[in-house]
Structure 1
C-alpha cells in the first residue's frame, strides 16, 4: 500500500513538472485524472462494501493451549472492483476470568474468499470474540471505508482433564433415599411448578412461561420442584482471589480441569450428589447422577464469571441459602482453605480439597472428627494428571 501511494505522488510530481515545461492539454487531462483517481476509488469501494457481507466463524469448542482457528469469510453479489483488504480489531474476552485482549488484523481478500487466523487461548472458559473497527481498503491504498456490520462468535475452551480416584467405604451415605422427597425444594422436576419469577441470567429458555410473558411485558420463568433427595453436596468455591491475594490464572485453569473429574469420580464410587457454585448472589446447582451430568455441569460452570473472592460458597452454605440439610459435603477450592471452612457444623461429614501452588505430593490431614482436608499441589496435578482421595 505504501509503495502504491509513493508511486502515485511521484507520478503526480512528474506530470506537474512536464506540465510546467510543456503545457499541453493532454498532460492537464492526465493530471486531473490522477487527482480524481482517489475519489473514484472511494466511490467504487463504497459500492463494493454494499455488495459484500463478512462473517466470523469459530469452532463451538476447543481446548486450552491448543490453536484455535478463526475463519473470516466474505460473500459478494458481484465481482469486487476496488476492495483489496479488510482491517479490524479482534476483541477476545474471557467471560470466566474477566480478561480481555485485542489483536489488530489486516486480511487480504483473495479468490478463496476466506482467511484463517489462529490464536492459542491459555485459559479455559467461554471466550466471546468480536470484531470492531472493521474497514475495507481499496487496491491503491488511497481510501478506507467502514463496514457497517457486527462480527462475533463464542467458543467454549475446555480445560485439561484430570483423573481423580475416590476411595471410600461410605458410598451408601449419598444414595437417594427410597420414597423420600425434598419438600419445597426448587429443582428440575417438570411434573410440578414450584413458583413463577422474573427471568435471570443463566435460566434456560425452555423454562420461560411465554403466555404470561406476553401479558406482563417481561420474561417470566417457571421454577420446578425436585423430588430427588441427595445427602451429599459438592461445593465448588473457585475464585479470582484467595484470602485477598490474586490467584495465578494457570492455577485457576488447571483447577477447573479437576471439576468434572471430581464429580465423575464420585459417581463412579456410587455417590450421586448435588454440585453447586455461586454466581453473584445466586446458587447455581445441578444433580449429578452420571458422568454425562458431570460433563454438562463443567460446561455450565465455564459460562459464568468466577467470583472475586473464595469463601463466598461457604458463606452461602452457612447462611442457609443452600436449602437442603446435607449430611456430607465435598468442598473444592484453590490456593488455600478459607477461614469460613472452620465454621461448617461438626455434624456435616466434610471432605475438603484445595489445589495449591506449592510443590510436593498431596497431603491428607484430619483436624477434627468427620473432617478430612486434602492439599493437592498444582505441580503434582500437572505432572501426574491423577490422584486419589480417601473419603
Structure 2
C-alpha cells in the first residue's frame, strides 16, 4: 500500500485553511467539521485495507472476431465480495496487433461501487491481425484518494480482425481433365484411379473434381461421375505469410475458405511456420473451423519469401492432393 503524498498534503492544507477561517470568523461549530475531516483519514484507511483484496477481475472479448474496418473490444468484469465498494480504480493495460508490433500502454479509470459490474474496453485497429490486450495492473484508491494499492496481474485476451471478403471469381479452380479416358478417374485431379460406376446430375456438396466436363459441356448442365472404388483426397490451401502482401493474402485465404465450406468441398488449410519450418493442417467445415484456421494463421511469423510455405509442403508432405497456392491476390493450382 502506498500513500499519495501530494494528495495528503493538499488534504491537510485544506483542513488548515478551514481551521483558520473558523478562528477568524469565530465559528466554533466548524471545529466539529474539522474533527470529522481528521477522523475520515483513519476510517478511509481501515475500510480500504479490508475491501481492497475482495475484488476479482475477468477479461474477455466482446465477440469471437471482428471484420475490418470495425475495431475489436473487450469486456472487463469485476465481482466484489465485500459489503461496500470503492470509488476509483485505474486499469493499466497494453495492446498490440501481432502483425504490426507496436505495444502501447494505456490507462483507464473505472468505479468499483457495485457488487459486480462490467466495462467495455474499445481498441482502435486499422488493419487485420490478432489484436491482443494484456492488463498488467489495477491501482485501487481509497475514498479520499490518499492511499492506493497496486495489484499486479496478467489478464490476457485476443480477438482476430478478419479482412473483408472479396470476389475471387470461379473458385475453386477446376481441373478439366478426365484422365486416360472418359470413364477413368486420374490421380492428377485428386483421386486414385478407379472406374466410373455411373454418371448422374450434380448435387450440392459434390466435389468439383467429380464433374464430367465433356458431358456437362455437351448437355449444358453439370453431371458428375460416381466412382466404384475411389479414395477421395482433399484440396490443400497453402497461404504464404509474405510480409509485403500479408493483407491481400489473408483476404484471399478467408474468401477461399468461406467459398469452400459453403460449397461443402472437402479441403484443408496448411499453415506454415517459417521459424520451425513445419506446418499445421486445419480441416474447415464451419465458421468455428474457419476462425481457428485464421487465428492460427495470424499467430505465425511473417517472412520475406514468396514460396516458402509451398516449397516446404511439396518437399515434405506425403499427402496427395490438389494444392492451391495463395499469395497476395494470386490464387493458383500448384504445378
**TM (normalized to structure 2)?**
0.64
User: What is the aligned partner in structure 1 of residue 332 from structure 2?
Assistant: 351
Mapping of residues 359-374 of structure 1, within 5 Å = none
CA distance in 1, matches of 2:36, 2:261: 77
CA distance in 2, matches of 1:174, 1:292: 27
User: What is the aligned partner in structure 1 of residue 215 from structure 2?
Assistant: none
Aligned mate of 1:304, from 280, 286, 299: 299
- 1:136 Cα deviation from its structure 2 partner: 1.0
C-alpha contact 2:61 2:158 (8 A) present in aligned 1: yes
- 1:87 Cα deviation from its structure 2 partner: 0.4
Cα distance change, pair 278–44 in 1 and its aligned pair in 2 (3 A): same
Cα distance change, pair 254–41 in 1 and its aligned pair in 2 (3 A): farther
CA distance in 1, matches of 2:136, 2:10: 31
User: What is the aligned partner in structure 2 of residue 70 from structure 1?
Assistant: 74
Q: Which has the higher strand share?
A: 1
Cα distance change, pair 144–228 in 1 and its aligned pair in 2 (3 A): farther
CA distance in 2, matches of 1:237, 1:141: 53
Matched, 1:124 2:105: no
Cα distance change, pair 153–31 in 1 and its aligned pair in 2 (3 A): same
Give the number of the structure whose alpha-carbon radius of gyration is greater: 2
Matched, 1:170 2:175: yes
Aligned mate of 2:64, from 43, 61, 70: 61
Deviations 1:249-290 (A, max 9, x none): xx63353122032245467889744431212322112356x5
CA distance in 2, matches of 1:159, 1:315: 26
Cα distance change, pair 266–54 in 1 and its aligned pair in 2 (3 A): closer
How many residues align? The count is 279
Cα distance change, pair 273–307 in 1 and its aligned pair in 2 (3 A): same
C-alpha contact 1:56 1:70 (8 A) present in aligned 2: yes
C-alpha contact 1:60 1:156 (8 A) present in aligned 2: no
CA distance in 2, matches of 1:286, 1:228: 20
Deviations 1:9-40 (A, max 9, x none): 44332256479999xx9999987865564444
C-alpha contact 2:247 2:328 (8 A) present in aligned 1: no
SS at match of 2:251: helix
CA distance in 2, matches of 1:49, 1:68: 30
Q: Which runs of 5+ in 2 are unaligned?
A: 178-187, 195-229
CA distance in 2, matches of 1:41, 1:88: 21
User: What is the aligned partner in structure 1 of residue 107 from structure 2?
Assistant: 104
CA distance in 2, matches of 1:114, 1:296: 26
CA distance in 1, matches of 2:16, 2:189: 86
User: What is the aligned partner in structure 2 of residue 41 from structure 1?
Assistant: 44
CA distance in 2, matches of 1:231, 1:67: 35
